[in-house]
Amino acid sequence: MVEAVTENHDVKAALFERLDAVLADDALLATTTSSLSVAELGAASGRRDRFAGLHVFNPVEKMDLVELAFAPAASQPTRDGMQRLCEALGKTAIEVPDVPGFVVNRLLFPFMFEAVQLLASTGVEPETVDACMKLGAGHPMGPLALLDFVGLDVAVAIGESIEVEVPQRVRELVDAGRLGRKSGAGFFEYR
């Protein structure tokens, strides 16, 4: 069973507590968290030995990587089963430490937030920043478009989870209901 609800510990934990009563004893459980503690969610599930973090990347159909994170209590059959699941999905699974943000988000979000700070300190336009990173660094999408793609509300949650400063501009956009692509507007307009 792979959970894919909002990036909120309490919401995920409550779901896992409810699922424990209805799933078979031998069921493997996974969370799609991108920044929360796999060990803590595994404890909430009541199945620490049968629990994993399965961090997929968007757009799922184009991104090959799945970061697999396990709490120390995860059994070898759980580790093997999750690896097989990723292979069956056509993904490349790489085991990463159970630390906030794992590897990719721990490195990516400070970078994206620095792009936001650059806007504030220089007045440069979002299109300019994104074009520079696409053309100069070979990124498939610029950092500001990526923040919009992820969702600015999700970006705030991840930033807080990995304990990096979330730029005020991101918080202002969220407060204004500009959550990125899903709301039709963020740093860019999508309507």
Catalytic residues: 55
| DSSP β-bridge partners for residue 67 | 55, 94
Coil vs helix vs strand at 54? strand
With 0-12 CB in 10 A as exposed, 13-18 as middle and 19+ as buried, what is 43? middle
Q: Is 102 left (phi over 0), alpha (psi -120 to 50) or beta?
A: left
Give me the amino acid identity at 17: E
Return the beta strands (E) in the chain as ranges: 2-3, 29-31, 51-56, 65-69, 92-96
Q: Which residues, in sequence order, are CB contacts of 6 under 8 Å at separation 6+?
A: 12
- Cβ atoms of 108 and 147 within 8 Å: the answer is no
